[in-house]
Structures are given as C-alpha cells and as structure tokens.
C-alpha cells in the first residue's frame, strides 16, 4: 500500500501573510510530495513496504544502508507534523498542563520562546527545531536534515522547519523573522497539548 501526500489541515492561503500560498505550492505540493514519491519508489520490493510510516522511520534510523529510506520517510513524517504544528490565528500562549510544564522546564513562556528561537536560528544548514518531551521533562532540540525525535524515542510536541525552502519565498534569508512569525502567529498550541497527552 503506497503512501500518499496528506492534504494540508487548512487552505493553502490560510496562514497568510505569515506563510504564503506560494510557499505551500512548493513546500507541500512539490517538496513534501517528492519525499512521498521517493519513499514509495525506494520501498518497492522491500519488506518494509508493509510497515507504518512510524515503524519505517524507527526501523531505518542509524542504518547507513537504509539512509535513503530513512531520509524520505522521516521527511514525510516531519512535514506532516509541521503542517499540524501551525494553524490560522495561532501563536500566543499555551494553557493548562502544557503551560505549566513549559514554565517548569524553562522558567517562563518568554524564556521558552527565546530558547526555541535560538535553537531554530542556530541550526546550521537544513533541519528542524522541536519542543519535545523526554523522561517527563520538556526540552528544546534541533535536528539536522531529516533527523527527527521519532528516531530517538522522544515525544515530539511541536516543530518548525528551518530548511531554506520553508521560508525563502516569504522571508528570503531572514530566518529569525520567520521563526518569530511562527511563534507569534502560527504555533498550534492545541496540537502540542494533544501530543503531550497522547
């Protein structure tokens, strides 16, 4: 059963002006779609083809002979997770248990934003910044290229894609402005809270 490109959880222009429909026309319809196509091609005649996406990511992580499958499978998973990490009218502050855990881990929500932005801006080259839970504790991490908390036994709560293709059409080289817009206007704290409980 081949994998399919999942639809966006909102209209392609729903996050404007912070992320444009033009960006989605490349990032979702071309980049994300290419990872799905590549993965399906690489899985032909592989015993992994019957596994779930999550199982494939976990089974191929750290295996140099399966780097192609890992990279494409992880990028399919990471992008689907990223689209849900944003929503129209997002940003602002989380509430409830998630807010309490952020305060406990980082001191305050402002301090969290500072550290998250720092991780996203200092990821050298292509990659991702994440809010994760590990051992009951919230942490901020960054991963290079396709790497993902899913491969490390960590629970991902929220992510921002900092590959240049994520922001270049709207922000050109200004990655800090993109990450700021993500935190102020796009971050989907309902999704992060659901992941924390899940």
Cα 28 to Cα 25: distance, rounded to the nearest angstrom: 6
Restricting to residues 167-196, name those near Mn ion by CB under 5 A.
none
- Least distance from C-beta 173 to Mn ion, angstroms? 16
Residues in the chain: 198
Which x/- pattern, by CB under 5 A, does the window 115-154 give for Mn ion? ----------------------------------------
The CA distance from 97 to 129, in Å, is 22
Q: What's the maximum distance between 2 C-alpha atoms anywhere in the chain?
A: 50
> Under a CB-based contact definition with an 8 Å cutoff, are residues 100 and 109 in contact?
no
Measured from the CB atom, is 70 or 163 closer to Mn ion? 163
**Of the residues 3, 56, 132, 161, which one makes contact with Mn ion according to CB under 5 A:** 161
Q: Considering the complex, state which of residue 99 and residue 145 has its C-beta at the smaller distance from Mn ion.
A: 145
CB of 6 to Mn ion, least distance (A): 14
Q: Are 166 and 27 in contact (CB under 8 A)?
A: yes
CA distances from 155 to 103, 143, 159, 180 (A): 18, 14, 11, 24
Q: Binding Mn ion by CB under 5 A: which of 35, 83, 163, 171? A: 163
Coil, helix or strand at residue 128: strand
Which CB, 120 or 196, lies closer to Mn ion?
A: 120
Q: Which is nearer to Mn ion, 111 or 165 (CB)?
A: 165
Binding span for Mn ion by CB under 5 A among 44-52, 60-68, 105-113, 157-165: 157-165
């Amino acid at each position: 059963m081949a994998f399919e490109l999942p639809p966006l959880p909102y209209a392609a222009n729903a996050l404007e002006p912070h992320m444009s429909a033009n960006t989605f026309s490349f990032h979702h319809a071309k980049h994300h779609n290419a990872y799905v196509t590549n993965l399906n091609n690489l899985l032909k005649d592989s015993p992994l083809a019957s596994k779930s996406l999550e199982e494939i990511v976990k089974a191929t992580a750290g295996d140099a002979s399966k780097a192609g499958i890992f990279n494409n499978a992880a990028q399919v998973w990471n992008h689907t997770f990223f689209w849900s990490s944003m929503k129209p009218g997002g940003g602002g502050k989380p509430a409830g248990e998630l807010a309490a855990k952020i305060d406990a881990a980082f001191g305050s929500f402002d301090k969290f934003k500072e550290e998250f932005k720092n991780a996203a801006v200092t990821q050298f080259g292509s990659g991702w910044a994440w809010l994760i839970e590990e051992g009951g504790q919230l942490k901020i991490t960054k991963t290079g290229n396709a790497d993902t908390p899913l491969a490390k036994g960590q629970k991902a709560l929220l992510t921002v894609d900092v590959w240049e293709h994520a922001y270049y059409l709207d922000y050109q080289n200004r990655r800090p402005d993109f990450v700021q817009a993500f935190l102020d206007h796009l971050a989907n704290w309902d999704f992060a809270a659901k992941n924390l409980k899940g």
